[in-house]
Structure 1
Amino acid sequence: MAPSARGGRSRLRLAVTAVLAGTLLLTAACSGSDDKPSWQGGGAGAGASTGPEESTSTAPAPALSTVAVTSPAADATSVELWSEVKYNSEDPANTEVKVTNAKGKEVKGTVDKDGNLWRPSESLAWGTKYTVTVSTPAADGKQNSATSTFTTMKQPANLVRVSSFLADGQTVGVGMPLIMKFGRPIPEKYRAEVERRMTVTATPAQEGTWRWISSTEVHFRPQTYWKANSKVFYKVALKGVKLGDGWYGRSDLTVDLKIGRELIMTVDNKTKKMTVKENGKVIKTIPVSLGKKSTPSSSGTMVVMEKAAHTIFDTTDEDPVNGYKTPIDWAQRITYSGQFIHAAPWSEGQQGRRNVSHGCVNVSEALGEWLFGKTLMGDVITVSGTEEKLKNGNGWTDWNMSYEEYKKGSYLK
């Protein structure tokens, strides 16, 4: 009987406990006492109704997105003109960055939200204080922001002049390279950065590349000849850019020009004729006389570099004994070494039959004038079948090589 009695007492204790628990629950549900139960967040029990003033529950406040400017350092001085602004943000997608000068004018720039960077779209001014403001929306609808200031470097004494051969408003031929020149040699380690800061925009769009002709000259050409009647805009943003040995770019510049109709001249030594095509159609065939064997014309692709309706060819400085001074009409230079297309009335009887020139492309007086009136600087002339090949660099020889070969002269790989 002992085990049974113990089991009975256990069941009795369980029953009593259950009754007490039920009493507590009933009391909590029905009591009108001001005492609040400690469960359910201190609120009323199930089925109870309370007004807003009786509720003690509160929603957690949203965490603020913190922002900070990390570079340039606060109150930094001697900051370079193309320095990026770096910042931290817990909400990059909604972060705004504003840079203003001492007069409060906003500086143009672009924001890389993935990299937390602001980059200037144009060079900053020498010796100028700037304010950076980085902000994100805050929980109360206001801006959560951070500000910092920095001052750019003073204008240095060593500045490199950067110039464009072409100017605004010019109309040039389809073979015209864009030519930039520098006032001092640019070390190789800086040339890639220089190229990155020289941008070319053509309308319609056309692929192209820069090529370094020397340490002080760089050209740009498209993959094929410029499309006729294109618009070309290029920007050179080198003010304040390091150009080696303590030297900096002096200024920025832009050029806006137009490409004219397509005019291509083709000279064949076998036929002693020049074929002139405009926009793909033959408009004239001209008898020519090229360089004799002792002074051959160069075979290759060249462009018209300069034009003079009337000039004098003087070679006496180079060759006092056999040099000559000769008045020339309708001259169009195609090489640095002195090869021209020009009128030569003294060789009109030989034109189309024999080569008697000193390397130039001789045409008649009348056809020389006609051709002179048709051409633009940058128009293309290709000569073939002569004893001598054109040497690259003897003029604007940008088209005397394949595009793949041309690209090798760029430092952007």
Structure 2
Amino acid sequence: MEMDGFRSAERSAPAGRRGRLRLAVAAVLASTLLLTTACSGDDKPSWQGGGNTPEGTSASQPPASQPALSTVAVTSPAADAKSVELWSEVKYNSEDPANTEVKVTAKGKEVKGTVDKDAKVWRPAEGLAWNTTYTVDVSTPAADGKTTSATSTFTTMKEPSKVVRATSFLADGQKVGVGMPLIMKFGRAIPEKYRAEVERRMVVTATPAQEGVWRWSSPTEVQYRPKTYWKPNSKIFYSVNLKGVEMGDGWYGRTNLTVDLSIGREMIMTVNNKTKQMTVKQDGKVIKTLPVSLGKASTPSASGTMVVMEKAAHTVFDTTDEDPVNGYKTPIDWAQRLTYSGQFIHAAPWSEGVQGKRNVSHGCVNVSEAMGKWLFDRTLMGDVIVVSGTEEKLKNGDGWTNWNMSWEEYKKGSYLS
């Protein structure tokens, strides 16, 4: 600050007087500063942190901003949506997905489901109920320690008139052989476009764990087998959650079902056409070798890997409808079906004299009356029989031929592979 009047007087004054003038100027400056401070109230000079800067901060370091509150919102299904399909996912937005909780309820009860926090999606564990209102609550902790939340509702579709029934060939509590496939049948052909989703909803759990896959044997039937024969004494559980699953042309799955069954000991029957003997192994050990007679040249037995499909202690083979001239109608004991086309293991007392020597059957595996009963008493549906060395090969699809193809070939029948 320069005061021209004082400086002019200082220049014109003698040396002794100049000193006194400097003191006077200093006093005036000091009083001016005191007056300025007093007029400014509680404000501090800017070099002491004064001015308009908030208390406790400096002009060069602005105060830290408060953290933004985390927000959440349900994005799908839309709020108050109607006719929502039963397997619809719940989608949401969140700025803190790792700490976000999702809860879906209906009629006061929480619905089972899984949350993919990365994708910000909730998926139902099974198909939702028809024509039911669901409430979605999404919440996440806020910066102030409170909770930010969002709520939305939607209503599922009414049960359609066009529903597809799915049935399991096997039932709870059954014990089957190590070659038994799991079989699901549908009341209507499933278009290829929808088969992958149908497979995805049919989950097989084996104890101990075993790799396996579903294969479509026809548009109305799908079968499941493990990579190798089921491990003996395994426990098998499968859940088929098809209620509300779209199956094309306005058709939907009708219901869900579960099946709980067990696998027995391992029994493998091996028939060699060259020796005309059957070797029976149980849990890897030979327990019986017996003579057989296979199909004669005009009606050969098929070579391949088959399983026991059904058993009848006493039945009648009647082929007269198929062949009125050469057909036959014969009572049969201890019959075990191997193919749809009519290949069986069965007792044939009329061929006992040539069993182990010549083939005289119409394609079946003939055994004696005694051996027929012995086998029948020990086998389970799903036990394996392997026939080799005959003139004809087993056609895939002629029975449960799941084991008549390699694992790589079998997997090609899945729409998820």
| Bucket of the pairwise TM-score, normalised by the shorter protein | 0.7 to 0.9
**Is contact 1:310-1:328 (8 Å) kept?**
yes
Q: Which consecutive residues of structure 2, in runs of 5 or more, have no partner in the other structure? A: 1-6, 12-21
Give me the whole-angstrom Cα distance separating, in 2, the residues matched to 1:142 and 1:23. Answer: 55
Q: Could you tell me which amino acid in structure 2 is paired with residue 328 of structure 1?
A: I
**Is contact 1:263-1:276 (8 Å) kept?**
yes
Give aligned-pair identity as a percent.
78
Find the counterpart in structure 1 of residue 160 from structure 2: 156
Give me the whole-angstrom Cα distance separating, in 1, the residues matched to 2:346 and 2:152. Answer: 65
**Is contact 1:269-1:385 (8 Å) kept?**
yes
Report whether the alignment pairs 1:208 with 2:215: no
Find the counterpart in structure 2 of residue 315 from structure 1: 319
Q: Deviations over 1:162-192 (max 9, x none)?
A: 1111111111101001111110100111111
Structure 1 residue 140: Cα displacement:
4.2
Report whether the alignment pairs 1:35 with 2:42: yes
Find the counterpart in structure 2 of residue 359 from structure 1: 363
Q: Which has the larger radius of gyration?
A: 2
Note the aligned Cα RMSD (angstroms). Answer: 2.6
Of the three residues 179, 186, 189, the one matched with 2:183 is: 179
* Range with bigger deviation, 197-206 or 145-154: 197-206
Q: Could you tell me which amino acid in structure 2 is paired with residue 76 of structure 1?
A: A
Find the counterpart in structure 2 of residue 107 from structure 1: 111
Structure 1 residue 62: Cα displacement:
3.3
Of the three residues 329, 337, 342, the one matched with 2:333 is: 329
Q: Deviations over 1:303-335 (max 9, x none)?
A: 000001111111111111222211111110000
Report whether the alignment pairs 1:372 with 2:371: no
After superposition, residues 65-84 of structure 1 pair within 5 angstroms as: 65-84=70-89
Give me the whole-angstrom Cα distance separating, in 2, the residues matched to 1:244 and 1:338. Answer: 35
Q: Could you tell me which amino acid in structure 1 is paired with residue 92 of structure 2?
A: Y
**Is contact 1:65-1:91 (8 Å) kept?**
yes
Of the three residues 124, 128, 131, the one matched with 1:124 is: 128
Structure 1 residue 403: Cα displacement:
0.5
**Is contact 1:36-1:42 (8 Å) kept?**
no
Structure 1 residue 412: Cα displacement:
1.2
Structure 1 residue 141: Cα displacement:
3.5
**Is contact 2:57-2:63 (8 Å) kept?**
no
Q: Could you tell me which amino acid in structure 2 is paired with residue 97 of structure 1?
A: V
Find the counterpart in structure 1 of residue 291 from structure 2: 287
**Is contact 1:36-1:44 (8 Å) kept?**
no
Find the counterpart in structure 1 of residue 103 from structure 2: 98
Give me the whole-angstrom Cα distance separating, in 2, the residues matched to 1:400 and 1:409. Answer: 14
Give me the whole-angstrom Cα distance separating, in 1, the residues matched to 2:349 and 2:171. Answer: 35
Q: Could you tell me which amino acid in structure 1 is paired with residue 228 of structure 2?
A: T
- Match of 2:222, SS? strand
Of the three residues 389, 410, 413, the one matched with 1:409 is: 413
Give me the whole-angstrom Cα distance separating, in 1, the residues matched to 2:75 and 2:352. Answer: 76
Structure 1 residue 143: Cα displacement:
2.2
Report whether the alignment pairs 1:263 with 2:267: yes
Structure 1 residue 60: Cα displacement:
5.0
Q: Could you tell me which amino acid in structure 2 is paired with residue 346 of structure 1?
A: W
Alignment TM-score, normalising by the size of structure 1: 0.88
- Match of 1:313, SS? strand
Q: Deviations over 1:123-150 (max 9, x none)?
A: 1000000000000012443321000000
After superposition, residues 131-142 of structure 1 pair within 5 angstroms as: 131-142=135-146
- Match of 2:110, SS? coil
- Match of 1:167, SS? coil
Find the counterpart in structure 1 of residue 19 from structure 2: none
Q: Deviations over 1:244-267 (max 9, x none)?
A: 111000011111111111100000
Alignment TM-score, normalising by the size of structure 2: 0.87
Give me the whole-angstrom Cα distance separating, in 2, the residues matched to 1:58 and 1:224. Answer: 69
Find the counterpart in structure 1 of residue 3 from structure 2: none
Give me the whole-angstrom Cα distance separating, in 2, the residues matched to 1:122 and 1:382. Answer: 40
Give me the whole-angstrom Cα distance separating, in 1, the residues matched to 2:338 and 2:195. Answer: 28
- In the alignment of these two chains, the number of paired residues is 384
Give me the whole-angstrom Cα distance separating, in 1, the residues matched to 2:57 and 2:200. Answer: 71
Give me the whole-angstrom Cα distance separating, in 1, the residues matched to 2:153 and 2:147. Answer: 19
Of the three residues 62, 71, 80, the one matched with 2:67 is: 62
Structure 1 residue 195: Cα displacement:
1.0
- Match of 2:171, SS? coil
Structure 1 residue 64: Cα displacement:
1.4
Q: Which consecutive residues of structure 1, in runs of 5 or more, have no partner in the other structure? A: 10-14, 47-56
Structure 1 residue 198: Cα displacement:
1.1
**Is contact 1:36-1:43 (8 Å) kept?**
no
Q: Deviations over 1:199-256 (max 9, x none)?
A: 1111111111111101001111111111111111111111101101110000111111
Question: Aligned in 2, Cα 1:136/1:328: closer, same or farther, shift over 3 Å?
Answer: same
* Range with bigger deviation, 374-383 or 192-201: 192-201
